[in-house]
């Protein structure tokens, strides 16, 4: 049996949990049993395509089992946590399911994360191992692993897919020794998603077997997936959107095929769509722009595409309207969060709903409240803060008691930080955000985290980071800096400084502005709305570094 959970996991209240079971949402099925049932049911069908490799459902399960044996031999034990940071390659799933088989809880990082993020995840989760590629998109993850090990003493093992150097090669793991697998309880934590965050500290989102698999099953139903579905996974494989909404897991739930695309270039994605007769994919809005632009000079046959999902960031109506005509397929908007709640427009919704709203929740038991600053419900149709609770929305972050006190109401509603309105058709429209975050083409930047790093710079006396509108990414970030005694550093110097501190590239401010002092609100907080008003509305070009999409080294993520 798996040892008891860390007390900081906040379970659902007993009565609600019972209701979710009675309603058939939670089925008591842990991931390893789920995968075994799929292998039984869909056996020789193709589950996964990665380059020239094709794994059947049975092979996927076999890889997971043999790897679990190897991880056990390496000393991994149930209840431990492991940070996994892999790009869109088959080994991600083999290792993810192997860890779940062992009852070890993966913490799924994004390939773009660097020392500051990975070090913080490893320390916070007390991770015992770190699983990486050798190199990806020009970056050497083994060097990162050395730095992480130096600052996260719990990390005793590093497993490398590829050239391992001093670490454990992935290729040495598979074993056949019979190991008595532990039984995971379906209502316990299966793995941790990462929060987009709005504070300086990393936050881990516990996802249970029961709650996650419910969201996967219901999403696959809403999207009408079938054994004929061929899904192109082009967003980072571990992110909640391409993993479970319905994503790779939803495709497997229905016996379909997942095709992994490991580069952000539209030409590569188009070639895979043509070769594999892809029917379905998920994109962020900035990637939609890139694809539409690339489509005009591409000869690829994309006629197999039946559905494109778009989510992760605000999606302008004018852009949404171009999807169906350009790709000859249906559009679905998705408004979700790694914390749980996912909304979809439905496939048979009127065009107006699909183009202008972000849909409605998965579950009849997703409770939605739209409230004012005093937590009072707003008038129907008015804008307000979105609060939610339900059968797959977390009740508390991992080991974050004081943050949890603010992030949830006393009745267990999660404060999403999003501002929404409910339309007359019963759909949500995301109209803005109250959380102190920049949504940079779907990549979430917590302002406070970056401000915290910048305050260490000797020339920075004070700093505040705000979002500025961007025609391509939706938003970019601008740092207003109150210079200290030294002159204000130039943007590339700031970028170099933040890189040296180990911050992911997408968090580096796109623009730096000097300001004599930061404006304050009546209650003495930095007035970010006033700072946003100071920004030149003209799009900035020369001052910025490349977008994650234009830059082949990094990936867009929702």
The site for ligand OOB (CB under 6 A) is made up of 196, 240-241, 245, 311-315, 333-338, 342, 358, 416, 418, 430, 433, 439, 444, 558
Name, in order, each residue with C-beta under 8 angstroms of 470's C-beta and a sequence gap of 6 or more.
Answer: 476, 510, 539, 540
Rounded least distance, CB 205 to ligand OOB, Å:
8
Nearer to ligand OOB, 188 or 195 (CB): 195
The angle at the Cα of 55, spanning 162 to 99, to the nearest 5 degrees, equals 60
Indicate the residue among 115 and 440 with the shorter CB distance to ligand OOB.
440
Shortest CB 319 distance to ligand OOB, Å: 12
As measured in angstroms, the least distance from the Cβ of 314 to ligand OOB is 5
Smallest distance from the beta carbon of 242 to ligand OOB, in angstroms?
Answer: 8
- Residue 542 C-beta: closest distance to ligand OOB, Å: 28
Closest CB to ligand OOB among 216 and 460? 216
Q: How far apart are CA 188 and CA 107, in angstroms?
A: 15
Angle between helices 209-222 and 31-42 (to 10 degrees): 40
Please report, for residues 30, 168, 228, 262, 296, the alpha-carbon distance to residue 132 in angstroms, rounded to integers and kept in the order given: 25, 10, 32, 15, 37
Task: Map 71-97 to HEC letters.
Answer: HHHCCCCCCCEEEECCCCCHHHHHHHH
Q: Is 130 helix (H, G, I), strand (E, B) or coil?
A: strand
Q: What is the CA radius of gyration of the chain?
A: 23
Q: What angle do CA 539, 541, 543 make, to 5 degrees?
A: 115
d(CA 241, CA 90): 18
For ligand OOB, which is the closer residue by CB, 313 or 353? 313
177 to each of 36, 43, 61, 71, 530, how far by Cα in Å?
A: 19, 23, 16, 12, 64
Q: How far is the CB of 330 from ligand OOB (least distance, A)?
A: 16
**Stretch (H or E) spanning 121:** helix 115-125
**DSSP letter string over 150-176?**
HH-TT--EEEEES--TTSEEGGG----
Query: 167: Cβ–Cβ under 8 A, 6 or more apart, which residues?
Result: 142, 145, 157, 158, 159, 160
Q: Name the residue among 28, 80, 77 with its Cα closest to residue 37.
A: 28
Which ranges constitute the DSSP H helices of 129-224?
141-151, 209-222
Shortest Cβ distance from residue 266 to ligand OOB (Å)?
20
Report in angstroms how near the CB of residue 290 gets to ligand OOB at its nearest: 17
Nearest CA to 77 among 137, 151, 3, 13?
Answer: 3
Smallest separation (angstroms) from ligand OOB to the CB of 37: 25
3-state secondary structure of 504: coil
Q: Which is nearer to ligand OOB, 276 or 339 (CB)?
A: 339
The answer to whether 465 and 494 have CB atoms below 8 angstroms apart is no
Q: Which is nearer to ligand OOB, 132 or 338 (CB)?
A: 338
Closest approach of Cβ 193 to ligand OOB, in Å?
7
Residue nearest to ligand OOB (CB): 336
Identify which of residues 68 and 249 has a Cβ nearer to ligand OOB in the complex.
Answer: 249
Phi-psi sector, 45: left (phi>0), alpha (psi -120 to 50), beta: beta
Q: Please say whether the beta carbons of 449 and 197 come within 8 A.
A: yes
Query: Rounded distance, CA 21 to CA 27, Å?
Result: 6
Cβ proximity to ligand OOB, 2 vs 194, nearer residue: 194
Closer to ligand OOB by Cβ: residue 167 or 241: 241
146 vs 419, beta carbon nearer ligand OOB: 419
Least separation in angstroms between residue 311's CB and ligand OOB is 4
Neighbours of 132 (CB within 10 A): 28
Cβ closer to ligand OOB: 418 or 451?
418
CB 90 within 8 A of CB 260: yes
Whichever of 32 and 442 has its CB closer to ligand OOB, that residue is 442
Minimum CB–partner distance for residue 338 and ligand OOB (Å): 4
**Residue 164 or 314 having the CB closest to ligand OOB:** 314
Tell me how far, at minimum, the Cβ of 186 lies from ligand OOB, in Å. Answer: 22
């Amino acid at each position: 049996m798996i040892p008891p959970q860390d007390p900081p996991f906040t379970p659902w209240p007993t009565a609600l949990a019972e209701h979710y079971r009675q309603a058939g949402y939670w089925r008591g099925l842990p991931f390893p049993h789920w995968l075994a049932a799929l292998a039984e049911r869909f056996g020789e069908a193709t589950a996964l395509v990665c380059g020239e490799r094709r794994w059947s459902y049975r092979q996927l399960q076999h890889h997971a089992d043999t790897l679990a044996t190897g991880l056990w031999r390496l000393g991994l034990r149930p209840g431990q946590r492991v940070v996994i940071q892999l790009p869109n390659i088959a080994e991600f799933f083999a290792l993810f399911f192997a860890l779940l088989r062992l009852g070890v809880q993966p913490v799924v990082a994004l390939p773009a994360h660097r020392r500051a993020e990975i070090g913080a995840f490893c320390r916070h989760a007390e991770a015992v191992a770190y699983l990486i590629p050798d190199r990806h998109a020009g970056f050497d993850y083994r060097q990162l692993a050395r730095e992480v090990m130096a600052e996260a003493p719990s990390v005793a093992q590093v497993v490398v897919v590829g050239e391992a150097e001093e670490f454990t090669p992935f290729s040495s793991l598979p074993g056949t020794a019979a190991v008595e697998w532990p039984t995971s309880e379906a209502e316990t934590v299966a793995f941790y998603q990462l929060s987009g965050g709005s504070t300086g500290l990393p936050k881990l989102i516990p996802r249970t077997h029961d709650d996650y698999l419910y969201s996967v099953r219901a999403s696959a139903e809403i999207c009408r997936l079938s054994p004929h579905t061929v899904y192109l996974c082009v967003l980072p494989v571990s992110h909640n959107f391409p993993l479970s909404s319905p994503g790779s897991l939803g495709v497997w739930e229905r016996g379909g095929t997942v095709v992994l695309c490991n580069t952000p270039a539209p030409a590569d994605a188009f070639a895979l769509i043509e070769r594999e007769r892809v029917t379905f994919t998920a994109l962020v809005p900035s990637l939609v722009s890139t694809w539409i632009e690339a489509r005009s000079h591409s000869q690829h046959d994309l006629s197999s595409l039946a559905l494109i999902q778009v989510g992760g960031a605000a999606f302008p109506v004018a852009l949404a309207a171009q999807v169906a005509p350009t790709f000859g397929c249906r559009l679905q908007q998705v408004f979700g969060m790694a914390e749980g709640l996912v909304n979809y427009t439905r496939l048979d919704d009127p065009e107006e709903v699909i183009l202008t709203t972000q849909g409605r929740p998965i579950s009849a038991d997703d409770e939605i409240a739209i409230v004012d600053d005093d937590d009072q419900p707003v008038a129907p149709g008015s804008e307000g803060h979105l609060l939610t609770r339900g059968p797959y929305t977390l009740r508390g972050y991992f080991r974050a008691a004081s943050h949890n006190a603010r992030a949830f109401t006393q009745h267990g509603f999660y404060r999403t930080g999003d501002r929404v309105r409910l339309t007359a058709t019963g759909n949500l429209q995301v109209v803005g955000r109250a959380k102190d975050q920049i949504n940079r083409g779907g990549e979430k930047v917590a302002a406070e985290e970056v401000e915290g790093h910048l305050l260490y710079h000797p020339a920075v006396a004070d700093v505040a980071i705000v979002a500025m509108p961007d025609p391509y990414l939706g938003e970019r970030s601008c740092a207003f800096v109150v210079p200290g005694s030294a002159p204000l550093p130039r943007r590339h110097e700031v970028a170099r400084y933040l890189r040296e501190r180990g911050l992911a590239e997408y968090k580096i401010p796109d623009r730096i502005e000097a300001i004599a002092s930061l404006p304050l609100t009546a209650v003495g907080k930095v007035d970010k709305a006033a700072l946003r008003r100071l920004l030149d509305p003209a799009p900035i070009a020369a001052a910025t570094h490349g977008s994650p999409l234009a830059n082949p080294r990094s990936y867009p993520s929702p």
